[in-house]
Amino acid sequence: MAKVLVVGGGFAGVVAAESLAQTLGSDHQITLAARSHEFVFYPALVRLAFGKAEPDDITFDLREAMLDRKVRFIEGEVARIHLDEGYITFAGGDVVGEMAYDFLVLALGRRLATERISGFFEHCQHLRRQSSAKPVRAKGAQCDADEASECAQKEKRPVHVSG
């Protein structure tokens, strides 16, 4: 039995883990690890920001969802990947310490380099988390999603939607 470890609980990691579980069946162990058990459907953050969806509408619990798909889920922060030795180190979460794998899928997403855009934090708002969508909602709750740019202009605080 091979141990397949998929790291990252976004679209890439979830789809990879599901597909592997479906293809390989129960002969092999598929584990999905991510720093949070909460999956956020990013495209709907725009709807959340403009009051057209509630937090519960755009998230689901990976622990429950993965059980149905025969994938073991671990909530944990990956601190280090030891590629040559074939194990990773978790810094916190369900597992603290090392976990060995036979096959590793890295689906850790990307990081916005907003610090490289001067004035971004003072004048813009990004939509990458529920916590960053909420301030937009608080300021622009009266706006319709279609009126987003008009609202943003009134606020003089552009909304940056990044994929």
* Residues making contact with ligand FAD (CB under 6 A): 8-13, 34-36, 42-43, 45-46, 77-78, 107-109, 127-128, 161-163
Q: How far is the CB of 74 from ligand FAD (least distance, A)?
A: 9
- Choose between 25 and 121: whose C-beta lies nearer to ligand FAD: 121
Closest Cα partner for 37 from 57, 13, 54, 53? 13
CB of 12 to ligand FAD, least distance (A): 3
From the CB of 66, what's the least distance to ligand FAD, in Å?
12
Closest approach of ligand FAD to the CB of residue 36, in Å = 5
